[in-house]
């Protein structure tokens, strides 16, 4: 009975109007009632600020004055688009993404494949690789700054011990600073991709490998022809999650180099932070944020449409 | 099923431990919890104090805080040390906007004026300060002036810290630069300075002097601006809206620096700790920096003394400096009782200017600055007369210690020192970057 | 599974010759060694942090890179606790993370249930709107959100952290996916019996959704515990700070007291590592299932 009421709701009205309408109204009210708490928070703290941010970006708002400030029109956007600081920070964010994504995807895959082969002890490797992922960025930064400290840090000590007499000035050399932060980030976040890959690997039926080895396929062959193609979906997910996460970089760079040396590692989010909260220029910062939003949006949409293709084909 | 039981017992164990732990934490930090939930203020009789003084300065400040605490055991002093530079001022601003600022904070005078213009500081009524002896005639005039913004007092100066010249007494003696009484001969001339550095270089076999360059825009700016101010130049006017950088004067200074580097009299690549090491190990006879490294060299037992930075270009003496001062971030919920406590605290620290002066800074508190006790502090009091001739960074919303302005200027100057840019190119670089800031409407 | 496969393979190999078995063995050994090397590398930073934190500062100054110390001490830890801030930061982080996780689970599951099981008008549009919110990274909103909370005088309270963390689109999607997996007949049967929607949600669907609840709870908890930028901006009073923000200020206070700095890093890392150790299965399953979805 109730099932028929449900189908009637979306289609033609056959049921007696009173019962159906009352049921529908009750259902409507329940539905909206249940959804409202979420929607209130959603509008107030997600949609609202987004709209406010867009509006603010057209004004010369200031941090310590309430209200929108003077109307600036497109000036904030033109300033951002012509500001070398803005583009450099954008580049630093992109550079960071380029430096961290390949190792975080490839290395995680390799380690997951190796771990998957083990018959026991998997929990140990899962612990070792994933534990860093749960620690806060501040703890990670403190540890790695200590490791990177010139002369008395562990890495320098080991490098000089194996004969490299002048190790790079990890965090103070503009040529090395971003690489150093990238290395620390790989240590910190590899575990997440590792776990994703492990899960994906476990989905692959063992019979496929057995059948292949019966046919005489080598391990390497099995890897290339079975494992990796069947992991495509996982890889796509890992890739896009990694790229989007890398684009949002702020913590490690702020904590380890403060955007230096001489702003050579400052990512876009830190640029927004400096402009909005150190220079008090919230209107301009909002404009920079919106441009940054467009970049992330573009990446998300690319993945969104790319991941739909195989489904449509299938 | 066994797994379920295991999981359940683990969960209940955690729950139990969590409740106990939480209970302990809440009872111990009840006020923080209440504050977090209801936004209530801190318990009465606490005084929160933020500063950006690390290293040797930090140790001295800690000693002064401890002395205050002993004298006032009924006040719980909550002192927090934060990293030097822009991040400190961002945090102070955000805390003030967040309605929970510290009761009193250290601020450079150059930054205090910006915070004041942004409406983040409480104006100080000179009448309410009189009972504590905090009147204008008790402070260095230049500092007291700078502590006013648009005619209102916003800060109480603690000290003035100019750029000074450290010299290794052993090396200078061997180089024949010391007079019979042991004092350094007069270097108030570009040629005299260069000659002195050359003589020192002969003795050390490495360098004549050293200035920190790598990643240190602040020191580079101090070095350049002192010489530039001695030529009578300014950089910004009109609250930063107009750039009055004098190309000829700037080029004269940058060429001098470039020459010193080219002749190998000062290193072309050295960072802050490296410069200290160079001086300590006797590889340079002169070290140019703010006055705060005195403790470092005393601890390292380097044979050294300090004196005012020479008046290299003649004319009216000028030297770059800033001052530490006490400010009261705006807090509408601050009680009068707390205000009184703040002034008592400030007065107490000023009364300990002797401790503070041992760290090299020229105390702004005149009763001590003019005393014989201060005179006895050598080499700290050698340069005390420059306090009346210091030039603070030109006022602008993007200027001050650790600011974008210093970074822009320091970066270009550092490029010349490192041999990466010619003076003319550096000046063009400075101008092009400053113009962007000058044309931006002030957000404060 | 692989243990079952191997004997069969080996039996076949014995029929065909020993070479393949040797290659497989070698490959396994190779994988194992590489894994061990990487695991060793991965473990070093945390081990080194703990090692440094247990040495006296004098020993660190003299021999900064020696693993062994003649005189181990907990002094760094006792000093941190005596300063008193770290306990407060623990409390703040715990309260914020827990409140956020609880509110998020409740609000998101309610909305997801409404979308998945009640046919209220406009639910498709609402769901679309919520899914669109996936595209908005919270970092983009720091400036307008700061102004908003500033105007509401909520800065430096727990609420400035908790309130933005409640409406998380991905949590709704997780719950919707999970709820649609639970047969609709359950809900219908209950409706026939006169149960209210709230009852169905609370007493039928939620108890069956423990994996989704724990996934959302844990993710929100870990996210809010480790969140850095937003608390950096909005929790500026030292008594209200969360652990990561408090930690980031420690180094300037301690200068070159590396033992204290490492001790604070260890204390910062410890809570969530413990959480991970206790809830390994749920966390890993949570990642796996949401990833696969």
Higher pLDDT, A233 or A136: A136
Other beta carbons within 10 Å of C54 = 20
Give every CB contact of residue B275 below 8 A, 6+ residues apart in sequence: B210, B211, B212, B213, B267, B287, B289
Domain boundary among A41, A56, A71: A56
- On whether any CB of chain B is under 8 Å from the CB of C284, the answer is no
Q: Cβ contact (<8 Å) for C261 and A50?
A: no
User: Do C173 and C44 belong together in one domain?
Assistant: no
Query: Which chains lie within 8 Å of chain B at 3 or more CB pairs, if any?
Result: A, C
- On whether any CB of chain B is under 8 Å from the CB of A83, the answer is yes
Q: Which of A19-23, A61-65, A148-152, B169-173 has the lowest mean pLDDT?
A: A19-23
Residues 68-107 of A with CB under 8 A from C: none
* pLDDT > 50? residue A119: yes
* pLDDT > 50? residue B61: yes
Q: Cβ contact (<8 Å) for A60 and B441?
A: yes
Domain boundary among C77, C92, C125: C77
- Residue numbers in B near C162 (CB within 8 A): none
Dist CA C170 CA C130 (whole Å):
9
User: Do A27 and A100 belong together in one domain?
Assistant: no
Find the residue in B nearest to C233 (Cα): B94
- On whether any CB of chain C is under 8 Å from the CB of A138, the answer is yes
A155 part of a folded domain = yes
- Residue numbers in C near B27 (CB within 8 A): none
When divided into structural domains, chain A yields a total of 2
Residue C243, min C-alpha distance to chain A (Å):
9
- On whether any CB of chain B is under 8 Å from the CB of C13, the answer is no
When divided into structural domains, chain C yields a total of 2
Other beta carbons within 10 Å of B119 = 13
Q: Find which of B20, B36, B60 to mutate to test the C interface (most C CBs within 10 Å of its CB).
A: B36
User: Do C228 and C268 belong together in one domain?
Assistant: yes
| Residue B31 to residues B142, B249, B251, B333, C156, Cα–Cα distance (Å) | 43, 58, 59, 16, 13
Q: Cβ contact (<8 Å) for B29 and C234?
A: no
- What pTM was computed for the model? 0.83
- On whether any CB of chain C is under 8 Å from the CB of A15, the answer is no
Question: What's the pLDDT tens digit per position in B207-222?
Answer: 999 999 887 889 999 9
Give every CB contact of residue B181 below 8 A, 6+ residues apart in sequence: none
Residue A274, min C-alpha distance to chain B (Å):
9
- Residue numbers in C near B39 (CB within 8 A): 153-154, 156-157
What is the Cα Rg of chain A in Å? 26
Q: Cβ contact (<8 Å) for A172 and B89?
A: no
Q: Cβ contact (<8 Å) for A281 and B440?
A: yes
Q: Which of A129-143, A178-192, A294-308, B382-396 has the lowest mean pLDDT?
A: A294-308
- pLDDT, position B270: 86
Q: Find which of B2, B19, B28, B32 to mutate to test the C interface (most C CBs within 10 Å of its CB).
A: B32
Q: Find which of A279, A286, A287, A288 to mutate to test the B interface (most B CBs within 10 Å of its CB).
A: A279
Phi, psi of B161 (to 5 degrees): -125, 100
User: Do A42 and A113 belong together in one domain?
Assistant: no
- pLDDT, position B210: 95
Q: Cβ contact (<8 Å) for A146 and C35?
A: no
Residue pair C242/C89 in contact by the 8 Å Cβ criterion:
yes
Q: Which two tokens stand for residue B188?
A: 């108030």
Find the residue in C nearest to A238 (Cα): C291
Mean per-residue pLDDT for A30-53?
92
The SS3 call for residue B302 is coil
Q: Which domain holds residue A29?
A: 2-56
Question: What's the pLDDT tens digit per position in B338-367?
Answer: 999 999 999 999 999 999 999 999 999 999
Residue pair C169/C133 in contact by the 8 Å Cβ criterion:
yes
Find the residue in B nearest to C237 (Cα): B100
Dist CA B187 CA B200 (whole Å):
13
> Percent of chain C having pLDDT more than 90?
40
User: Do A32 and A140 belong together in one domain?
Assistant: no
User: Do C155 and C173 belong together in one domain?
Assistant: yes
* pLDDT > 80? residue A1: no
Residue C234, min C-alpha distance to chain A (Å):
11
Query: Which chains lie within 8 Å of chain C at 3 or more CB pairs, if any?
Result: A, B
- Residue numbers in B near C143 (CB within 8 A): none
Dist CA B262 CA C34 (whole Å):
52
The burial class, CB within 10 Å (0-12 / 13-18 / 19+), for B95 is buried
Q: Which domain holds residue C126?
A: 84-292
- On whether any CB of chain C is under 8 Å from the CB of B19, the answer is no
User: Do C88 and C66 belong together in one domain?
Assistant: no
User: Do A27 and A160 belong together in one domain?
Assistant: no
User: Do A117 and A219 belong together in one domain?
Assistant: yes
Find the residue in A nearest to B96 (Cα): A64
> Percent of chain C having pLDDT more than 70?
89
Mean per-residue pLDDT for C206-225?
90
* pLDDT > 70? residue B20: no
Q: Cβ contact (<8 Å) for C240 and B35?
A: yes
Size of interface A-C (CB pairs under 8 A): 304
Select from A262, A278, A280 the Cβ nearest to the Cβ of B215.
A262
CATH number at residue C152: 1.10.3720.10
A253 part of a folded domain = yes
Q: Cβ contact (<8 Å) for C65 and A152?
A: yes
Dist CA B119 CA B113 (whole Å):
10
- Residue numbers in A near C280 (CB within 8 A): 123, 126-127
Residue C114, min C-alpha distance to chain B (Å):
30
Please identify which residue in the block is written with the tokens 């709230």: C198
Give every CB contact of residue A268 below 8 A, 6+ residues apart in sequence: A86, A89, A90, A92, A93, A288, A292
Q: Which of A49-53, A191-195, C23-27, C124-128 has the lowest mean pLDDT?
A: C23-27
Q: Cβ contact (<8 Å) for C275 and A134?
A: yes
Q: Which two tokens stand for residue B193?
A: 């300075």
- On whether any CB of chain A is under 8 Å from the CB of B89, the answer is yes
Q: Cβ contact (<8 Å) for C157 and B22?
A: no
Q: Which two tokens stand for residue A307?
A: 């991941």
- Which band of pLDDT confidence, cut at 50, 70 and 90, is reported for residue B22? low
CATH number at residue A261: 1.10.3720.10
Mean per-residue pLDDT for B110-126?
92
A95 part of a folded domain = yes
Dist CA A291 CA B440 (whole Å):
20
Listing DSSP states for A220-255 in one string gives HHHIIIIIHHHTHHHHHHHHHHHHHHHHT--HHHHH
Mean per-residue pLDDT for C230-257?
83
Q: Cβ contact (<8 Å) for A46 and C196?
A: no
User: Do C106 and C164 belong together in one domain?
Assistant: yes
Question: What's the pLDDT tens digit per position in B174-207?
Answer: 999 998 888 888 899 999 999 999 999 999 999 9
Dist CA C204 CA B352 (whole Å):
71
Size of interface B-C (CB pairs under 8 A): 89
Q: Cβ contact (<8 Å) for C141 and A145?
A: no
Write down all domains in chain B, each with its CATH number in brackets: 46-157+324-363 (3.40.190.10), 162-319+384-438 (3.40.190.10)
Q: Cβ contact (<8 Å) for A62 and B86?
A: no
Instruction: Pick the closest to residue A33 from A43, A21, A25 (CA basis).
Output: A25
Dist CA B263 CA B292 (whole Å):
28
The SS3 call for residue A124 is helix
Find the residue in A nearest to C118 (Cα): A31
User: Do A248 and A306 belong together in one domain?
Assistant: yes
User: Do A25 and A89 belong together in one domain?
Assistant: no
- On whether any CB of chain B is under 8 Å from the CB of C155, the answer is yes
- On whether any CB of chain A is under 8 Å from the CB of B120, the answer is yes
Residue pair B399/B110 in contact by the 8 Å Cβ criterion:
yes
Q: Cβ contact (<8 Å) for C118 and A127?
A: no
Q: How far is CA B12 from the centre of its chain?
A: 54
- Which band of pLDDT confidence, cut at 50, 70 and 90, is reported for residue B245? very high
The neighbouring-strand residues paired with B163 are B290
- pLDDT, position B212: 92
User: Do A135 and A20 belong together in one domain?
Assistant: no
User: Do C94 and C66 belong together in one domain?
Assistant: no
- Which band of pLDDT confidence, cut at 50, 70 and 90, is reported for residue C204? confident
- pLDDT, position B17: 56
Instruction: Pick the closest to residue A185 from A246, A127, A124 (CA basis).
Output: A246
Residue C38, min C-alpha distance to chain A (Å):
8
Instruction: Pick the closest to residue C173 from C221, C219, C216, C125 (CA basis).
Output: C216
Listing DSSP states for C149-183 in one string gives HHHTT-TTSSHHHHGGGT--HHHHHHHHHHHHHS-
Cα-Cα end-to-end distance for chain C: 24
User: Do A7 and A130 belong together in one domain?
Assistant: no
Please identify which residue in the block is written with the tokens 């005195």: B294
* pLDDT > 50? residue B311: yes
- pLDDT, position A272: 94
Mean per-residue pLDDT for A271-280?
90
Dist CA B296 CA A246 (whole Å):
41
Length of chain A: 314
User: Do C220 and C250 belong together in one domain?
Assistant: yes
Dist CA B433 CA B417 (whole Å):
19
Return the DSSP state at B43. Answer: P
Please identify which residue in the block is written with the tokens 């060299």: B297
Average pLDDT, chain A: 84
User: Do C280 and C240 belong together in one domain?
Assistant: yes
User: Do A38 and A94 belong together in one domain?
Assistant: no
- Residue numbers in B near A262 (CB within 8 A): 215, 217, 407, 411
Q: Cβ contact (<8 Å) for B118 and A83?
A: no
Give every CB contact of residue B280 below 8 A, 6+ residues apart in sequence: B296, B297, B300, B302
């Amino acid at each position: 009975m109730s099932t028929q009421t449900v189908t009637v709701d979306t289609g033609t009205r056959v049921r007696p109007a009173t019962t159906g309408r009352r049921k529908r109204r009750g259902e409507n009210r329940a539905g909206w009632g249940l959804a409202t708490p979420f929607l209130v928070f959603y509008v107030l703290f997600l949609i609202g600020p987004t709209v406010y941010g867009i509006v603010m970006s057209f004004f010369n708002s200031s941090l310590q004055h309430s209200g929108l400030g003077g109307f600036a029109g497109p000036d904030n956007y033109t300033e951002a688009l012509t500001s070398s600081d803005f583009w450099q920070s954008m580049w630093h964010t992109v550079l960071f993404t380029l430096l961290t994504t390949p190792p975080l995807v490839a290395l995680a895959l390799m380690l997951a494949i190796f771990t998957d082969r083990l018959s026991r002890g998997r929990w140990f490797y899962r612990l070792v690789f994933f534990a860093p992922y749960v620690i806060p960025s501040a703890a990670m930064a403190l540890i790695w700054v200590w490791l990177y400290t010139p002369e008395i840090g562990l890495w320098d000590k080991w490098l000089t011990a194996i004969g490299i007499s002048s190790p790079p000035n990890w965090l103070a050399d503009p040529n090395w600073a971003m690489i150093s932060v990238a290395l620390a980030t790989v240590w910190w976040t590899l575990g997440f991709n590792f776990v994703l890959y492990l899960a994906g690997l476990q989905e692959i039926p063992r019979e496929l490998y057995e059948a292949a080895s019966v046919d005489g396929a080598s391990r390497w062959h099995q890897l290339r022809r079975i494992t990796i193609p069947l992991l495509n979906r996982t890889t796509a997910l890992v890739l896009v999650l990694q790229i989007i996460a890398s684009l949002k970089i702020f913590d490690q760079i702020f904590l380890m180099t403060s955007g230096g040396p001489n702003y050579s590692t400052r990512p876009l989010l830190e640029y927004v932070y400096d402009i909005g909260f150190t220079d008090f220029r919230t209107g301009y910062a909002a404009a920079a944020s919106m441009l940054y939003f467009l970049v992330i949006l573009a990446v998300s949409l690319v993945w969104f449409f790319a991941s739909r293709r195989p489904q449509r084909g299938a | 099923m066994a797994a379920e039981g295991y999981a359940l017992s683990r969960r209940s164990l955690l729950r139990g431990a969590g409740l106990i732990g939480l209970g302990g934490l809440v009872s111990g930090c009840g006020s923080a919890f209440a504050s977090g939930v209801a936004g209530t203020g801190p318990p009465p009789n606490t005084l929160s104090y933020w500063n950006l003084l690390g290293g040797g300065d930090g140790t001295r400040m800690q000693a002064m805080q401890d002395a205050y605490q002993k004298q006032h055991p009924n006040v719980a002093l909550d002192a927090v040390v934060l990293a030097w530079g822009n991040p400190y001022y961002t945090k102070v601003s955000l805390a003030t906007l967040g309605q929970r600022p510290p009761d009193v904070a250290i601020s450079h005078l150059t930054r205090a004026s910006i915070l004041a213009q942004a409406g983040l500081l409480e104006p100080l009524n000179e009448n309410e300060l009189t009972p504590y002896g905090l009147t204008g005639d008790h402070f260095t005039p230049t500092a007291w002036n700078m502590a006013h913004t648009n005619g209102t007092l916003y800060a109480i100066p603690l000290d003035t810290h100019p750029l000074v010249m450290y010299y290794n007494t052993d090396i200078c003696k061997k180089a024949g630069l010391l007079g019979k009484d042991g004092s350094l001969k007069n270097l108030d001339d570009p040629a005299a300075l260069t000659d002195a550095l050359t003589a020192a270089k002969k003795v050390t076999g490495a360098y004549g002097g050293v200035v920190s360059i790598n990643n240190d825009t602040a020191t580079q700016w101090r070095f350049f601006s002192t010489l530039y101010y001695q030529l009578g130049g300014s950089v910004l006017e009109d609250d930063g809206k107009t750039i009055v950088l004098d190309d000829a004067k700037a080029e004269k200074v940058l060429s001098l620096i470039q020459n010193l580097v080219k002749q190998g009299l000062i290193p072309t690549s050295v960072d802050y700790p490296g410069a200290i090491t160079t001086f300590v190990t006797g590889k340079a006879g002169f070290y140019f920096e703010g006055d705060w490294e005195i403790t470092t060299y005393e601890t390292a037992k380097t044979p050294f003394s300090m004196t005012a930075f020479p008046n290299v270009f003649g004319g009216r003496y000028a030297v770059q400096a800033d001052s530490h001062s006490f400010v009261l971030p705006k807090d509408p919920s601050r009680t009068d009782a707390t205000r009184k406590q703040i002034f008592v605290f400030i007065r107490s620290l000023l009364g300990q200017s002797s401790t503070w002066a041992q760290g090299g800074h020229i105390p702004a508190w005149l009763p001590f600055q003019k005393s014989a006790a201060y005179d006895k502090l050598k080499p700290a009091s050698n340069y005390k007369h420059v306090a009346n001739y210091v030039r603070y960074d030109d006022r602008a919303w993007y200027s001050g210690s650790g600011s974008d302005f210093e970074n822009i200027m320091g970066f270009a100057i550092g490029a010349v020192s490192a041999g990466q840019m010619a003076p003319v190119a550096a000046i063009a670089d400075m101008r092009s970057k400053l113009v962007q800031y000058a044309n931006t409407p002030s957000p404060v | 599974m692989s243990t079952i496969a191997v004997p069969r393979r080996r039996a076949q190999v014995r029929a065909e010759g020993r070479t393949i078995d040797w290659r497989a063995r070698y490959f396994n050994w190779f994988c194992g060694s590489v894994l061990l090397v990487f695991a060793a590398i991965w473990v070093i930073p945390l081990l080194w942090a703990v090692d440094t934190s247990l040495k006296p500062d004098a020993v660190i100054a003299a021999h900064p890179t020696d693993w062994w110390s003649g005189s181990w001490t907990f002094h760094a830890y006792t000093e941190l606790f005596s300063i008193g801030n770290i306990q407060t930061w623990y409390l703040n982080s715990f309260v914020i993370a827990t409140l956020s996780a609880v509110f998020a689970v409740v609000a998101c599951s309610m909305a997801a249930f409404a979308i998945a099981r009640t046919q209220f008008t406009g639910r498709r549009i609402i769901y679309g709107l919520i899914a669109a919110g996936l595209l908005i990274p919270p970092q983009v909103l720091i400036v307008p959100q700061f102004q908003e909370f500033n105007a509401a005088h909520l800065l430096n309270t727990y609420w400035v952290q908790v309130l933005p963390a409640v409406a998380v689109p991905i949590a709704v999607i997780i719950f919707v996916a999970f709820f649609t997996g639970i047969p609709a007949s359950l809900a219908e049967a209950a409706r026939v019996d006169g149960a209210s929607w709230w009852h169905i949600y609370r007493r039928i669907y939620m108890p069956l959704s423990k994996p989704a609840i724990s996934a959302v709870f844990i993710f929100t908890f870990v996210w809010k515990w480790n969140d850095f930028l937003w608390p950096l901006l909005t929790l500026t009073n030292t008594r209200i700070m969360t652990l990561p923000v408090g930690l980031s200020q420690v180094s300037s206070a301690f200068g070159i007291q590396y033992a204290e700095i490492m001790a604070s890093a260890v204390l910062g890392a410890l809570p969530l590592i413990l959480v991970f150790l206790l809830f390994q299965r749920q966390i890993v399953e949570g990642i796996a299932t949401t990833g696969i979805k």
